[in-house]
């Protein structure tokens, strides 16, 4: 049986974080199962772009500090790494992201080494988006990475979560949770259930399920830690695109989904003309001067939406009538 530890943690306070993480790892068998003195350990953080730790778009720097300090105390050499998305003139902004999130300070103060190359370095990510233009095929690439990188342990910083238009344009939701597991799929299944989402509804996880990267059946996952059953996150806002990402197995449902489908669109009032979206678009669908998107070319990878640090790439209903109906439903035309 797979095990997922769910701890309650309400703030990024170093000693409290270390206690919760150490207790959780003990429940997974203890640190000795994963690391030994002298090991070189890479903390693969989530550093999507130059965002502050309080934005909930990146792993919080104090969370990184807590894990780094535990590992240093165990005699390990600690590396902190990722490769941020987006690019200007062919250079990914990872070093800038390290500074913005406060990791540079953590690395200096904790004696850890920063590593600006993630599992998929630099601009190769855009190429993979082009090769795998839908969630199912992109899920195959993620499954490849998991099978080849052989991550030992997965720790999710869910103290500040992002709700709504993640991974960068949503709002902070204090979920107050830390999740830990050796099984990446079981961890995702538990996290999704907290949001009220079933794993079968998430097309990007299809390949991980089929290749048995981990456990996907809730009844075969033991929940341990501060919770013995999966807690629910009340009123958590899912992304607008979530409905259109559901598995399409019903003709009527397909028509309804298509009617309410969303598409990226640049809001010129918010746009700062940085051109990150233009240079990161894997199929070059965004016009550099006008920022208009060519929807005949767009593969809906949402990189532009995810990588715009100014929340200027918004998701609009493709169908005008659907847009009005949605707004009416939210009471915006009253």
Question: Interface residues with ligand SF4 (CB under 6 A)?
Answer: 264, 266, 271-277, 281-283, 285-286, 291, 293, 298-304, 308, 310, 312-313
- Let me know: does 46 contact 219? Beta carbons within 8 Å: no
What is the closest distance, in whole angstroms, from the C-beta atom of residue 295 to ligand SF4 in the complex?
Answer: 8
CB of 120 to ligand SF4, least distance (A): 16
Which token pair is 247?
């598995």
Nearer to ligand SF4, 46 or 275 (CB): 275
How far apart, in Å, are the Cα atoms of 36 and each of 22, 114, 181, 222, 330?
Answer: 15, 20, 19, 26, 54
C-alpha span between 283 and 278 (Å, rounded): 10
Identity of the residue, 112 or 304, whose beta carbon is nearer to ligand SF4 in the bound complex: 304
Tell me whether strands 40-44 and 77-81 are parallel, antiparallel or unpaired: parallel
CA-nearest of 275, 274, 242 to 260 is: 242
Buried b (16+ CB within 10 A) or exposed e, 174-195: ebbbbbbbbbbbbbbbbbbbbb
Partnered with residue 155 across adjacent β-strands are 180
Output 212 or 268, the one with its CB closest to ligand SF4: 268
* Shortest CB 287 distance to ligand SF4, Å: 10
Q: How far is the CB of 119 from ligand SF4 (least distance, A)?
A: 21
DSSP-based three-state secondary structure for 229: coil
Q: Least CB distance from residue 272 to ligand SF4, whole Å?
A: 4
Closer residue to ligand SF4, CB minimum distance, 178 or 298: 298
**Would you say 190 and 222 are in contact if contact means Cβ atoms under 8 Å apart?**
no
The residues pairing with 114 across neighbouring beta strands, listed in sequence order, are 80
Least Å distance, CB 133 to ligand SF4, is 8
- Closer of 230 and 299 to ligand SF4 (Cβ): 299
Q: Which is nearer to ligand SF4, 123 or 325 (CB)?
A: 123
């Amino acid at each position: 049986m797979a095990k997922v530890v769910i701890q309650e943690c309400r703030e990024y306070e170093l000693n409290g974080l270390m206690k919760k993480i150490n207790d959780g790892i003990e429940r997974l068998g203890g640190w000795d199962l994963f690391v030994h003195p002298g090991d070189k350990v890479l903390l693969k953080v989530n550093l999507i772009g130059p965002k502050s730790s309080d934005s909930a778009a990146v792993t919080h720097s104090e969370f990184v500090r807590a894990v780094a300090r535990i590992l240093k105390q165990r005699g390990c050499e600690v590396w902190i790494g990722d490769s941020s998305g987006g690019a200007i003139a062919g250079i990914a902004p990872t070093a800038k992201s390290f500074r913005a999130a406060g990791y540079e300070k953590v690395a200096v103060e904790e004696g850890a080494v920063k590593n600006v190359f993630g599992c998929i370095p630099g601009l190769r990510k855009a190429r993979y988006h082009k090769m795998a233009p839908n969630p199912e095929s992109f899920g195959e690439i993620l499954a490849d990475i998991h099978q080849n990188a052989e991550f030992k342990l997965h720790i999710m910083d869910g103290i500040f979560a992002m709700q709504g238009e993640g991974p960068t344009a949503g709002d902070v939701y204090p979920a107050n949770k830390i999740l830990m597991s050796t099984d990446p799929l079981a961890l995702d299944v538990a996290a999704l259930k907290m949001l009220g989402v079933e794993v079968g509804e998430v097309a990007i996880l299809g390949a991980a399920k089929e290749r048995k990267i981990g456990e996907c059946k809730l009844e075969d996952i033991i929940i341990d830690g501060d919770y013995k059953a999966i807690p629910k996150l009340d009123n958590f806002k899912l992304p607008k695109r979530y409905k259109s990402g559901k598995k399409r197995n019903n003709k009527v449902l397909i028509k309804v989904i298509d009617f309410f489908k969303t598409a990226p669109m640049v809001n010129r009032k918010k746009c700062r003309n940085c051109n990150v979206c233009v240079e990161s678009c894997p199929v070059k669908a965004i016009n550099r001067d006008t920022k208009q998107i060519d929807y005949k070319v767009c593969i809906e990878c949402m990189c532009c939406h995810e990588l715009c640090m100014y929340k200027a790439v918004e998701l609009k209903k493709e169908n005008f009538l659907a847009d009005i109906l949605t707004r009416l439903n939210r009471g915006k035309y009253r």
